[in-house]
Amino acid sequence: MDKDVKILAIESSCDETSAAVVVNGREVLSNIIASQIDIHTKFGGVVPEVASRKHIEAISVVVKEALEVAKIDFEDIDAVAVTYGPGLVGALLVGLQYAKGLAYALKKPLIGVNHIEGHISANFIEHKDLKPPFVCLVVSGGHTFVVYMKDFGDFEVLGETRDDAAGEAFDKVARSIGLGYPGGPKIDKISKIGNEDAIKFPRANFHEECLDFSFSGVKSAVLNYLNNKAMKEEIIVAEDVAASFQKAVVGVLVDNAIKACKIKKVDKIAIAGGVASNSSLRKTMIEEGNKNGIEVLFPAPILCTDNAAMIGSAGYFEYKKGRVASIKLNAIPNLKLGER
């Protein structure tokens, strides 16, 4: 019987400092997250310099707590996994340098993990028997991809955003209608009492074979709608704006994900990233999946946000393939999916 592999994972790509202990890529012994949302809310978004300083303050604390909750010591881990991109370069460097120091001192392998691959791997934690091949829709504040996962660690990007990520568009629209930051959860909440058919916002559609996304157009359409209403001194129903905008974004996400499954002839789609918690996306994706004989999988909400457990899962599959990084590993803020 193979020995259990315990990965100590560290994530600091944006505004969450997280450490986790993951066994065999599937079992989470601990997943500690120090969030900075309250700090950045007053700025209306993430301030990179502030995020980096807060990571420095939190990193040792969350790693220590992750080990305590997992009831293990440093000597018990088999490798150290860490996000090295994509993300904010200053934030990435905090976690990366800490992980490199740990790996060097403990004489343990260092594993560099792509943050987006981490989001996809969250589904391996939630769904213990999930194996490739399947399609994955990655939707977060910084990323929007539809991906074909051929094998563990082997990805084919079928489509991606050409401008704003879906989550970024949610944040900008939320700010424009006075909801503040973070925008995604707030739009999701008020959309439940809005009329999603009140306003017909545009959806970017490319040619039939193209699965790329574009959300700058719908974002601009919302801003134009609000400006026109304001100029005419007409009443703006924020709930209707939010619901109509959300319907336009979710519609494109779902359509492309279902198309991807048909193109690759797979009957499973996994959703990942912060926007995977959106209730409309979940409901619509499941409905369309049922119509097309496609099983739709989501991680638990805690695994949709940035967290180290997903990095530990991805790190395990890298470790099993022998993909160990050198101590010279550097942060790559614009790291592409599948790059190594």
- φ, ψ for residue 88, nearest 5 deg: -75, 125
Higher pLDDT, 206 or 91: 91
CA distance 285 to 253: 9
Per the domain annotation, does 244 fall within a domain? yes
Q: Specify the CATH number for the domain of residue 253.
A: 3.30.420.40
250/236 same-domain check: yes
Are residues 143 and 244 both part of a single domain?
yes
Q: At 150, is the secondary structure helix, strand, or coil? A: strand
Task: Judge whether 332 lies within some domain.
Answer: no
Q: Specify the pTM.
A: 0.91
Single out the residue of 180, 122, 115 nearest to residue 142, CA to CA. 115
What confidence tens digit (pLDDT) does each residue in 243-297 have?
Answer: 999 999 999 999 999 999 999 999 999 999 988 889 999 999 999 999 999 999 9
Q: Give the per-residue pLDDT at 181.
A: 80
Which structural domain, as residue segments, surrounds residue 24? 6-121+304-320
Radius of gyration of the chain (CA): 20
Tokens of 119: 């989001």
Asked if residue 327 belongs to a domain, the reply is: no
pLDDT at 63: 97
| 32 and 68 fall within a common domain | yes
Contacts of 307 (CB under 8 A, 6+ apart): 11, 16, 18, 20, 31, 33, 122
Judge if 93 and 211 occupy the same domain.
no
Q: Where are the alpha helices (DSSP H) in the chain?
A: 37-41, 48-70, 89-106, 115-126, 166-176, 183-191, 216-231, 238-264, 279-291, 301-304, 308-320
For 113-159, how does the pLDDT look when each residue is reduced to its tens digit (9 = 90+)?
A: 999 999 999 999 999 999 999 999 999 878 899 999 999 988 999 99
42 and 156 part of one domain: no
Cβ-based neighbours of 11, under 8 Å, separated by 6 or more: 17, 18, 19, 20, 82, 83, 95, 115, 118, 306, 307, 308, 310, 311
φ and ψ at residue 134, rounded to 5 degrees: -160, 165
pLDDT tens by residue, 7-29 = 999 999 988 999 999 999 999 99
List pLDDT tens digits, range 30-70.
999 998 777 777 777 778 788 889 999 999 999 999 999 99
User: How are beta strands 144-151 and 134-139 bridged, if at all?
Assistant: antiparallel
Same domain, yes or no, for 110 and 167? no
pLDDT at residue 1, as a whole number: 47
Say whether both 227 and 171 belong to one domain.
yes
Burial 122-135, CB ≥16 within 10 A → b, else e? bbbbbbeebebebb
Do residue 140 and residue 199 come from a single domain? yes
Q: Does residue 1 fall inside a structural domain?
A: no
Q: Is residue 220 part of a domain?
A: yes
Shared-domain flag, residues 162 and 82: no
- C-beta separation of 234 from 244 below 8 A: no
Same domain, 26 and 170: no
Q: Count how many domains the chain has.
A: 2
Are residues 67 and 10 located together in one domain of the fold?
yes
Mean pLDDT of the chain: 92
| Cis peptide leading into residue 333 (ω within 30°) | no
Residue 26 is classified by DSSP as T
Residue 140 lies in a domain: yes
Residues 109, 61 within the same domain: yes
Q: What is the pLDDT of residue 157?
A: 93
Flag whether 338 is in a domain: no
DSSP state, residue 234: -
The confidence score (pLDDT) of residue 35 equals 82
The answer to whether residue 337 sits within a structural domain is no
